[in-house]
């Protein structure tokens, strides 16, 4: 499958998950009559979340989609800026937000609009003011250079066709000394072709996985150091059977029992940590970057704020390596001095754009004038 086809399949598959509010593509009842919320809770406990953690996040944030608990091992400190790659409905982002406190900040990035909408609603309904969710792809993060202290991710990078590009972007946005803590699915041996080519297996986090050594090498090639596998857990049959999403995948693929056992022995869940030490991605001087200030009413309703930011980030993301940006409040003295009364973007302190359409038209010209592209 082509990369764009894979992204479309994954995006549509996860849109269905969040729209149905379940961990698979439809309502699930176990043989014991357990409710969907109980099944999701059992899945979460099985992969490392405590009862307290599960109950501390907004209702609907936990969709039972992870393969580990990266937050538990991340040693998150108060005041840090944390980035959640593939944040979904916000489960791990909300757990991280509780640890960074009001002086810290959590940014969630996901490519599925329905997931972002659900996460933002969860944040607004539960008054999480130190969390924001941005629509974007992990291969082109809508995040500025060296802005992040810690990156977490939970069973998402395996879904992305270009793992190398994800780790390069993760390296770019981390501060020197920043950390990476991820839970993901990797392979001990190659999968059969019928699994690799299965749409259901891709959505179920299996066929997009790569060999463990290739995964680690992708991290090394991006510049990460001190790479350590903290935990490695096999996927035995009895664990698979408590996850209705996985069982639905197996049912649709009609996998024989002997092949299912072989598949289970090929797939493992790993928790990996790494550090950005010596900067491979060299930050340009300020005059070699396009300086972008995004002025928004930070206390405005979530819809107004997020819609504007989504449009702006969609324009900025393809050029993010050439840009230094900062989100600022319209209520600030700086905004008043510039006579700004509504959402707008100021570039290099001079060029003013009030719509994403105008910004999209003029941005390449400005970058060319500066000799950046």
Mean pLDDT of all residues in 59-81:
90
Percent of residues in the chain assigned helix, strand, coil, to nearest 5 = 45, 20, 35
At residue 285's C-alpha, the angle toward residues 283 and 290, to 5°, is 95
Mean pLDDT of all residues in 327-341:
84
Is there a single domain that holds both residue 132 and residue 213?
yes
- The per-residue pLDDT for 6 is 67
Range of the domain at 139: 3-275
Query: How many structural domains does the chain have?
Result: 2
Contact 347, 290 (CB under 8 A): yes
Instruction: Give the torsion sign (CA, 16, 9, 71, 23).
Output: positive
Q: How far apart are CA 174 and CA 279, in angstroms?
A: 9
Top-confidence residue, 266 or 77: 77
Is there a single domain that holds both residue 246 and residue 346?
no
Is there a single domain that holds both residue 98 and residue 62?
yes
Q: Report CA Rg, the chain.
A: 21
Q: How far apart are CA 60 and CA 122, in angstroms?
A: 7
pLDDT of residue 177 exceeding 80: yes
What pTM, to 2 d.p., does this model score? 0.75
Residue 202's pLDDT band (boundaries 50, 70, 90)?
A: very low
Is there a single domain that holds both residue 29 and residue 131?
yes
CATH of the domain at 124: 3.40.50.150
Is there a single domain that holds both residue 229 and residue 93?
yes
Instruction: Establish if 257 belongs to a structural domain.
Output: yes
Mean pLDDT of all residues in 288-314:
78
Is there a single domain that holds both residue 293 and residue 361?
yes
End-to-end CA distance of the chain: 31
Residue 166's pLDDT band (boundaries 50, 70, 90)?
A: very high
For 20-36, write each residue's pLDDT tens digit: 655 433 333 333 344 56
Q: What are phi and psi of 271, to 5 degrees?
A: -115, 120
Nearest to residue 158, comparing CAs of 193, 208, 87? 208
Which of 41-50, 128-137, 148-157, 299-308 is least confident?
299-308
Is there a single domain that holds both residue 343 and residue 219?
no
- The per-residue pLDDT for 10 is 74
Mean pLDDT of all residues in 318-340:
85
In eight-state DSSP terms, residue 321 is G
State what percent of residues in the chain have pLDDT above 90: 42
Mean pLDDT of all residues in 191-195:
63
Mean pLDDT of all residues in 48-69:
89
For 208-226, write each residue's pLDDT tens digit: 788 999 999 999 999 999 9
- The per-residue pLDDT for 25 is 32
Instruction: Establish if 280 belongs to a structural domain.
Output: no
């Amino acid at each position: 499958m082509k990369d764009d086809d894979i992204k479309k399949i994954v995006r549509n598959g996860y849109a269905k998950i969040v729209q149905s509010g379940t961990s698979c593509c439809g309502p699930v009842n176990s043989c014991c009559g357990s409710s969907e919320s109980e099944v999701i809770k059992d899945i979460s406990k099985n992969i490392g979340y405590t009862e307290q953690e599960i109950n501390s996040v907004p209702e609907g944030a936990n969709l039972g989609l992870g393969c580990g608990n990266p937050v538990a091992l991340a040693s998150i400190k108060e005041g840090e800026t944390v980035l959640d790659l593939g944040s979904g409905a916000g489960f791990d982002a909300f757990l991280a937000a509780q640890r960074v406190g009001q002086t810290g900040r959590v940014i969630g990035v996901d490519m599925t609009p329905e997931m972002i909408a659900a996460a933002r609603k969860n944040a607004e309904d539960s008054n999480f003011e130190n969390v924001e969710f941005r629509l974007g792809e992990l291969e082109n993060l809508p995040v500025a250079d060296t802005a992040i202290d810690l990156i977490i991710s939970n069973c998402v990078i395996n879904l992305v066709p270009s793992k190398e590009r994800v780790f390069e972007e993760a390296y770019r946005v981390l501060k020197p000394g920043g950390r990476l803590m991820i839970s993901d699915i990797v392979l001990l041996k190659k999968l059969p072709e019928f699994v690799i080519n299965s749409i259901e297996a891709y959505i179920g986090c299996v066929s997009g996985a790569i060999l463990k050594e290739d995964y680690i090498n992708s991290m090394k090639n991006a510049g990460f150091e001190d790479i350590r596998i903290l935990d490695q857990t096999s996927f035995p049959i009895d664990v698979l059977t408590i996850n209705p999403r996985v069982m639905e995948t197996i049912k649709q693929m009609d996998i024989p029992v002997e092949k299912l056992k072989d598949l289970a022995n090929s797939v493992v869940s790993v928790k990996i940590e790494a550090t950005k030490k010596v900067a491979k991605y060299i930050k340009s001087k300020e005059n070699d970057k396009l300086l972008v200030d995004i002025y928004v009413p930070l206390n405005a309703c979530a819809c107004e704020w997020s819609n504007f930011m989504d449009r702006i980030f969609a324009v900025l993301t393809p050029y993010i390596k050439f840009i230094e940006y900062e989100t600022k409040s319209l209520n600030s003295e700086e905004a008043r001095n510039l006579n700004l009364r509504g959402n707008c973007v100021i570039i290099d302190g001079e060029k003013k754009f009030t719509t994403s359409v105008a910004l999209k038209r003029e941005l390449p010209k400005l970058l060319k004038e500066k000799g950046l592209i």
